[in-house]
Structure 1
Amino acid sequence: MSYLDTTADVYRQAAQEPQVGLCCTTNPVWQLPGLSIPKRMLAMNYGCGSTVNPRDLTNSPTVLYVGVGGGMELLQFAYFSRRPGAVIGVDVVDEMLEASRQNMETAEQENDWFRSEFIDLRAGDALHLPVEDEGVDVAAQNCLFNIFKADDLRRALQETYRVLKPHGRLVMSDPTCEQPMSDELRADERLRALCLTGSLPLQEYLNMITEVGFGTVEVRAKRAYRVLAPGHYATDELIYIESVEVCAIKDPMPADGPCIFTGRTAIYYGGEELFDDQKGHVLMANQPLAVCDKTAGALLALGRNDIFVSPSTFHYDGGGCC
């Protein structure tokens, strides 16, 4: 049995009997006007964060969601795209697709605006998406890609890149970990399926995203997620795991490399009205500007004593330099 088979078994059981806390979401569930989330759907919220952000969802986009769970984020996406087939949900576990379908029927009873036909549930997996090239505006996954080993993760990222339209967005929430893990932990297929021991260091995770071609990446949030403690897991030290929310945009790759926003800000405080680096970045006096890591590094390299560049906050919400 492969680790993917183990993962399918874990979530087959979770579809048949909801398991609150299977994953531990790190932020409150979106409360939107007129949106009622069925109790069973909420109990099947098997994610570590959120991939639903209103600024990604203007103009009724077509959305692909991989790994449907109980369907909560499908329903939230449909809130912004209220038309037949606007939200495509893909899952490899038949029982999870059926559970999600049943939850949508309940959601239709609880929400006057919602129709089950807004959701298009499809059997398939992240490595072979049943979606045409450049067929969706937004793709999303929550606590799924961290389960994959390196080759499969690369394939999953390539598949989502394929199905996105130009300038489309891949929105993800995954656990990350900066500490090394033992071979025993890495080899534990059940712990990998539970979104624990597949966690990569953040920079490695970002590198894999940009290597498939995404020209812009936004790190929108980073939060505490879990700990693996000695005596409970095969580790001699306490291992701290965080969850990260990332948006990768299918922009053309800049000649000097991707623009990765990790929540850095530049402030010009010199005596002039503005500072222009002659590379497309204008800093107005005493006005903070969000900058990508590449621009932050270039500004620091100037060695000026009238420009402040903050460290990464790992919180970015738009309005940046690029």
Structure 2
Amino acid sequence: MSYLETAAQFYSEVAQTPEIGLCCVQSTPMQLPGLKIPCKMQDMNYGCGTTVHPTELSHQPTVLYVGVGGGLEALQFAYFSRRPGAVIAVEPVAAMREAARNNLELAAKENPWFDPSFVEIRDGDAFNLPVADESVDIVAQNCLFNIFAPEDLTRALQAAYRVLKLGGRLQMSDPIATRPIPQHLQQDERLRAMCLSGALTYAEYIQRIIDVGFGQIEIRARRPYRLLDSETYQLEQHLLLESLDSVAFKVAIPEDGACVFTGKTAIYAGNEPFFDDAAGHLLQRGIPAAVCDKTAAKLGALKPSEIMITESTWHYSGGGCC
């Protein structure tokens, strides 16, 4: 049995018998006015963070959600796009599709504004998304892509890139590893299905996204997720997994490389009122300006005595230098 078949079997089991806290151990679903989440849907909150960022969801975007789970985030996206077929949820596991449909019917009884037609659940997988090229505004997935082996992760990212409109956004939440996960854990198919052994390091994860063509990435959140302790997992030392929420934009990659925003700022401390470099980055004296990591490195090296570069906050909400 392949690791993907093991994952399908595992999620078929938890679709029929919810395993509370399987992935999400700290966060609770976003509270939105007038949104009530059925208890069973909450119990099936198999995610490590969130992909639903309200500032991204104006103008009722068409959303493709990969791996429907219990339907919680599909319902949250529908809160912002209240029209039939606005959210397309793709799910390969039949039991999970059925569970999500049932949960959405429950949600319709508890939320007068919601109609189940707002979410269309389709049979399909992350590698062969059943929608046309450049047809959706947002592709989202929560705690799914980390299950994939690296080469399959690239296939899934390529599929997401294909279906996004130009300027569209890939919104993801996945575990990442603070150091490479040993082979004996990577090869444990059930641990991989449980989102505990397939995570890449931050640098590897971001580079995979860039390599398929996304020109700008913004980190929305980065926080502790799980600890793989040395005794249980046969490690030389404890290994921390983190949860990373990111938004990747389908825009061209600049000649000098992709822009990755992690919450860094540049602050000019020179004698003149403004600093303006050759690339057009304008800094007002004493006022922090959001910059991508690439620009931060360049400005910091250009005038280290006059430009302070602050550390990454790992919480960035848009705008910036590029």
TM norm. shorter chain > 0.5: yes
Residues 1:176 and 2:168 aligned together: no
Give the C-alpha shift of residue 252 in structure 1: 1.0
In structure 2, the residue corresponding to 1:96 is in which secondary structure? helix
Q: What is the correspondence of 1:81-120 to structure 2 with a 5 Å cutoff?
A: 81-120=81-120
How far is 1:10 from its partner? Answer: 0.7
Count residues with an aligned counterpart.
Answer: 322
Residue matched to 2:52: 52
SS at match of 2:226: strand
RMSD value, Cα: 1.0
TM-score of the two chains, using structure 1 as the length reference: 0.98
SS at match of 2:12: helix
The equivalences for 1:255-274 within 5 A come to: 255-274=255-274
Contact 1:26–1:243 (8 Å) recurs in 2: no
- Mapping 1:227-238, distance limit 5 Å: 227-238=227-238
Question: Counterpart amino acid of 2:87?
Answer: V
Q: Name the CA distance, whole Å, in 1 between partners of 2:21 and 2:210.
A: 32
Shift of 1:286: 1.6
1:136 corresponds in structure 2 to: 136
Supply the distance in 1 between the matched residues of 2:102 and 2:179 (Cα, whole angstroms). 40
Identity %: 56
SS where residue 7 of structure 1 aligns? helix
Q: CA deviation at 1:232?
A: 1.3
Alignment partners' CA distance in 2, 1:157 and 1:144? 12
Amino acid at match of 1:266: A
Instruction: Give the drift of 1:25.
Output: 4.7
Shift of 1:27: 2.8
Give the TM-score, by structure 2 length. Answer: 0.98
Shift, 1:240, TM fit: 0.7
The aligned residue for residue 201 of structure 1 is 201
Residues in 2 aligned to 1:181 and 1:245: alpha-carbon distance in whole angstroms:
20
Output the amino acid matched with 1:181: I
**Deviating more after overlay: 4-13 vs 280-289:** 280-289
Counterpart of 1:316?
316
Secondary structure class of the residue paired with 1:185: helix
1:179-237 C-alpha deviation (Å, 9 max, x unpaired): 23322111100000000110111010000000000000011110000011122113221
Distance 2:108 2:183 in 1: 46
Per the TM alignment, residue 315 of structure 1 is displaced from its structure 2 partner at its CA by: 1.5
Alignment partner, residue 187 of structure 2: 187
Alpha-carbon distance in 2 for matches of 1:45, 1:6: 20
Conserved? CA contact 1:25–1:46, under 8 Å? no
Q: Secondary structure at the match of 2:316?
A: coil
What stretches of structure 1 of length at least 5 have no aligned partner?
none
The answer on whether the counterparts of 1:63 and 1:77 sit within 8 Å (CA) in structure 2 is yes
Q: Secondary structure at the match of 2:32?
A: coil
Letter in 1 for 2:312: S
Structure 1 position 26, deviation (Å): 4.1
The CA distance in 1 between the partners of 2:38 and 2:181, in whole Å, is 38
Tell me which moved more, 105-114 or 264-273. 264-273
Counterpart code for 2:183? D
Contact kept, 8 Å, 1:26 with 1:223, in 2: the verdict is no
The answer on whether the counterparts of 2:226 and 2:242 sit within 8 Å (CA) in structure 1 is yes
